[in-house]
Structure 1
Amino acid sequence: MSSKSPFTLIILLGLVSLFSDFTYEGARSIIGPYLATLGVSATLVGFVAGLGEFLGYFLRFFSGYLTDRLRKYWAITFAGYFINLFSVPALYFAKTPFQAVSLILLERTGKALRTPARDTILSYATFKIGRGKGFGIHEAMDQIGAFLGPLMVAGILYFTKDYKTAFAGLLFPALLALFFLFLARKLFPSPEKFERTSPLSEGDSFSKGFWLYALAMGIYGAGYADFALISYHFKKIELFIGEEIALLYALAMAIDALSALIFGYLFDKKGILILIGAIGLSSLFAPFVFLGRKELAIWGIILWGIGFGAQESIIRAGVSYFVPPQMRGRGYGIFNALFGLFWFLGSTLLGILYDLSLPILVGTSIFLQLLSILLLIKVSKVSQFP
C-alpha cells in the first residue's frame, strides 16, 4: 500500500477519529450521571443533550459553506478539532452546572466546525475504493476509540470515584489525535485530487432526492434517544452504577464499530436496502432500555449501537451520492444542520416525555424511526441512490 494512496489517508483520518472519540466519547459516557450529581433534572439533561447535538449539527451549515468558499479543508479541520478536543479535559476545572454545560456545548461547537471539512476530505478519499467501504472503515476505527475511552473512564471511576479525574485523564488521547491529523495534512495537502467528477451528482444545485434524504434522516434522528438520557434513566432508577454505565456505552461503541464495517461493505453492494434494514432493527432499542430489566436493557444498548453505527457510516456515505464535489462541504453542512435540528427537537421532546410517561416516550421513538423508512422508500423512487 502506497503512502500516497487514498486508503492511507482513510487510515490516518481513522486514527485521528480513534483518539478524538477516545477523548469525547469517554466523557460522553458519564455526562448524564455527572450532570445528575450537579442536581440537573431529566428535562434539562435532555435539553442540554439535544442542544449540544443541535449545535454540533446545525452550525455545520455555516462551516460547510465556509469549507466550499475557502477550500481550506485542513485549516478548518485543525481549528475544529482543537476546540472539540480540549473542551473535554477542561471539564476538570468546571465548578458549577453552568460551567459544565458551557464546556459540553463548546465541545459540540468544535465538532461542528471541523466535520464538513473532514467529511469532504474523506469523501474524496473514498471515491475509488467505495463510499460504504471507506466510510465504514473510518467509522470502525472511530468507534474503537469510542469503545476504549469509556473503558478508561470506567477504570478511573472504579479507583477514584471522581468524575473530574476521569475528564483530566482524557488529555493524552486528545494530543495523539492532533498528532495524526498533522501527519495526514503533511502527506496529503490536496485530497481533492482523488476525485474529479461524481457519477451520480451533476450540476450546481441540490436534487429533490437530497432534500428527501435529509428529511428522512432528520426524522430518524428525532426519534433516536441520546445516551445522556438513557444513562440518566439508568442512574435514576439505579439499574446500573456509574462504572457499569460507562461500560455499557463502551459496549454500544464496540457494536457500532462492528456494524459500521458490515453495513459499509453491504451498502456498496445493496444500497438503500441496507440502510432501511439497519433502521428497522435499531428502532426496537427504546422499549428495551426504558422499560426493560437489566438483561433487556443490555440488549437495548446493543440495538442502540447498531443504529449509531448506521448513522456514522452509511448515512454519511449516502450524502456524497447526491452532491457534486464542488458543493460537498455545503451538502454535508446542510444535511447535518437539518439532522441536528431534528435531533434537538426530538431530544427535547423525549426528555419532556420521560418526565410524563415512559410508554409514550417509547412509542414516539419507534414511530419516528419507522416513519423515516417510508421516506427512504420514496427517496429510492425519485433518485439514482443505489
Structure 2
Amino acid sequence: MEEKTKKSSWLNKNILGMGLASFFSDASHEMTTAALPTFLVNLVGNTLAPQFLGIISGLSDAASSFVKVFSGWISDRIKKRKGLITIGYTITGFFAGLTGLAKSWVGALFYRTFAWIGRGLREPPRDALLADSVSPEYYGRAFGFHRAMDTLGAILAPLFVFFALPSFGIKNVFLISFIPGILAVLAIFFLTKEISQRSRKQQSMGFWKDIISLPKSFHFFLLAMFVFGLGNFNRTLLLLRAQQVLTPLTGLAIAGSFSILLYAFRNIIQAISDYFLGRLSDTFSRKILLSFFGFFIFGVMSLGLAFPVPKLWFFILLFFLSGISAAASTALEKAYAADLLPSPLRGTGYGVLQTIDGLGDFLSSFLVGFLWSAISPTFAFVFAALLSFGSATLLFIQS
C-alpha cells in the first residue's frame, strides 16, 4: 500500500526534498562557477586563463566521474542511497566555498576537485532514488522538475555574483556560498526517505559483472553519450568566450559582467525548458527529443562560438541555445536511462553513465581549452560541433 501511494503522484516528498537540495546546492556551487573565470584571470592573467580553466574543469570532472562509478554500485549493493547523498552534498558545499581562499591556480584546482568529488558521491544514488520514487510514466516530469529546481539555483547564483561582486569582492562571494550549501544538506536530511529495496530479488554479482550485465540498449546509449561528451566543453569556457569577444567593445570589466548576466539568462531558459521537455518526453519519444534538442542544438551553438558576431544580441541567441541544449541533455538523458535500466541495477547504471559523461567532459574541457590556446577558438569550437552532430546521429539511429 505504501509503495502504491508513493508512486500515485509524481510530486511526492522525496521528489520535493531532492529538488530543494539541488536548488540550494546549485546556488552554492554555481556562485563559485560564475566567479571562477574572473578569479582565475586575477591569478594567472588573461592569456593563460583558458588553458588553466580547462585543466581545472577537466580534472575536477574526472575526479567526480571516478567516484560516481563506485557510489552508484555501492548504493545498489547495500540497498541504501540516502547516506551517500547526504555526505556528498556536505563535501560539495564545504570545498566549493573554500575555493576563494586559493593563492594559485593549483589551490583552486585542489578545492574544486574535492567539491566535485562530493558531487560524484551523491549523484548516482540520488538519481536512482529519484527514479525509484515515481512510476515510469512520470520519469520525464520527475527528472524535469528536479533539473528545473537545480537550474533555478543556478539562475540566482550568477545574478548574485553580478550584483554582489562590486560590493563584496571576489573572495567573499566564495565564502557566502557556504550558506545555501548548508541548506542543501538539511533538505536531504529532513525531507527524503529511503525507498525499500529488500524485496528486489536480483542480487549483485560483483562490480564488473553488474556493469557487463547492464542492457545492450543501455551500452549503445553510453556510446552516444561518450561521443557527445567529447565535445561538450565546460560552460566556464562559454563564459570566457563571451567575455573575450565582447571585451573590445565594452572593456574587460563590463564584458565580464555581461557574460555573468548572459549566464543567468541561459539558466532561466534551461529552467523553463527542463520541466517542459521532461513533461513532453512522457508523451513523445525521449530519444528523438534528446538527439535534437540536446545534441544537435549544442552543435549549432558551438558553431556560433567558432564564428561569432561581436554583438550582444548574437550572444543572447547563443546562450539561449545553450540553455535549451543543457535542459535536454541532462533531464532527458536521465529519464531515458531510467527507461533502459532495471531497478536493482539503477544506481550502477547511473554511475556508469555519469562516469562516461565525466570522462567525456574531462577530455573535452582539456582539449577545447588546449586547442583554443594552442591553435584558435574557431578550431576548438568546430571540433566540439562535429562531435555533437555525430552523437545526435548515433542516438537517432539507435533501435
Task: Settle same-fold status: TM greater than 0.5.
Answer: yes
Per the alignment, residue 305 of structure 2 pairs with: 289
- Equivalence map 1:88-167=2 (5 Å): 88-127=96-135, 130-160=138-168, 162-167=169-174
Are 2:124 and 2:347, in contact at CA under 8 Å, matched by a contact in 1? yes
CA shift, 1:217, in A, is: 1.2
Give distance in 2, aligned partners of 1:77 and 1:46: 27
Is 1:7 aligned with 2:11?
yes
Is 1:274 aligned with 2:274?
no
For 2:135, what is the secondary structure of its paired residue?
Answer: coil
Are 1:282 and 1:304, in contact at CA under 8 Å, matched by a contact in 2? yes
Per the alignment, residue 176 of structure 2 pairs with: 169
Per the alignment, residue 251 of structure 2 pairs with: none
Q: Deviations over 1:1-38 (max 9, x none)?
A: x8996522211210110000000112111212211211
CA shift, 1:113, in A, is: 0.5
Is 1:362 aligned with 2:376?
no
CA shift, 1:371, in A, is: 0.4
Is 1:224 aligned with 2:228?
no
Please identify, of 72-81 and 95-104, the stretch whose mean Cα deviation from structure 2 is larger.
95-104
For the aligned residue pairs, the C-alpha RMSD in angstroms reads 2.3
Are 1:58 and 1:336, in contact at CA under 8 Å, matched by a contact in 2? no
User: TM-score if structure 2 supplies the norm length?
Assistant: 0.87
Per the alignment, residue 242 of structure 1 pairs with: 256
Are 2:30 and 2:157, in contact at CA under 8 Å, matched by a contact in 1? yes
Per the alignment, residue 316 of structure 2 pairs with: 298
Percent of paired sites with the same residue: 27
Per the alignment, residue 344 of structure 2 pairs with: 326
Structure 1: unaligned runs, 5 residues or longer: 198-202, 382-386
Total equivalences in the alignment: 371
For 1:38, what is the secondary structure of its paired residue?
Answer: helix
**Quick one: structure 1 residues 36 and 350, their matched pair in 2 at CA, closer, same or farther if it must change by over 3 Å?**
same
Per the alignment, residue 371 of structure 1 pairs with: 390
For 1:283, what is the secondary structure of its paired residue?
Answer: helix
Give distance in 2, aligned partners of 1:193 and 1:250: 43
Is 1:253 aligned with 2:263?
no
Give distance in 2, aligned partners of 1:252 and 1:77: 27
Per the alignment, residue 384 of structure 1 pairs with: none
Q: Deviations over 1:60-82 (max 9, x none)?
A: 11111211122221111111111
- Equivalence map 1:23-38=2 (5 Å): 23-38=28-43
Give distance in 2, aligned partners of 1:361 and 1:231: 15
From 18, 24, 44, give the equivalent of 1:19: 24
For 1:292, what is the secondary structure of its paired residue?
Answer: coil
Give distance in 2, aligned partners of 1:33 and 1:111: 23
Give the residue type in structure 2 aligned to 1:357.
Answer: S
**Quick one: structure 1 residues 299 and 196, their matched pair in 2 at CA, closer, same or farther if it must change by over 3 Å?**
farther
Give distance in 1, aligned partners of 2:143 and 2:198: 18
Per the alignment, residue 200 of structure 1 pairs with: none
User: TM-score if structure 1 supplies the norm length?
Assistant: 0.90
